[in-house]
Amino acid sequence: MNYPHPFIAREGWPFLALAAAVAALASWYSLLWSMPFWVVAVFVLQFFRDPAREAPGDAKTVVSPADGRIVAVEKAHDPYLDRETVKVSVFMNVFNVHSNRAPVDGEVNEIWYKAGSFVNAALDKASTENERNALWIRADAGADVVCVQVAGLIARRILCYVKAGDRLQRGQRYGFIRFGSRVDVYLPPNASIKAALGDKVYAASTVLASLE
């Protein structure tokens, strides 16, 4: 999943092909009545866009794992490594890019998948109640970072393409969530947080924190 890769994520090709085929068929009958189908096709196109990004910083830099808006920057208990942390959460709406990128350089130690509900991903309880997939990454800077893909209200598929033992570079594409979701990042308490509540962030490009 390293760059270069298609501008339209591979996960979206079947959906885009179906939407375009239906719109084209509707156009054959009536151009006017086909317009709503073309609107759907354009929506699918924008949802599955996946632009290449350059990750800034060095081994201590933590970049955003997703496009969206910061909905939480708070002290929190990490349920995966049973420790106290600072949690930074990014909410993705249906108009954001939905591919997920590694927040740090490091090695994947373990992955946990938990089935769950599909409540609004903008709510904090989504972190503990929704379907989710967590990566424990031992950063090259020496810290433990946990990055959690969380399904949203209409998200029904979390995709993760890495396994324990894989190495990741910050900004590297590792997964995808379909149709609205969030990503939580659990950082050591001494991490220097750069992001603030309400900030608009971009996967791989926006710096969330610096590891000490």
Active site residues: 181
Q: Vertex 131, ends 129 and 133: CA angle to 5°?
A: 115
Q: Which helix (H) or strand (E) holds 25?
A: helix 13-29
Q: 74 with 116: CB under 8 angstroms?
A: no
CA distances from 152 to 3, 24, 31, 90 (A): 27, 31, 35, 12
| Encoded tokens for 125 | 């309880």
Cβ count near 43 (within 10 Å): 13
Helix axes 13-29, 31-47, angle to 10 degrees: 170
Q: 186 forms bridges with which residues in the sheet?
A: 87, 146
Please spell the DSSP secondary structure of 80-145, one letter per residue.
TTTEEEEEEEEEE-TTS--EEE-SSSEEEEEEEEE--B---TTSTTHHHHB-EEEEEEEETTS-EE
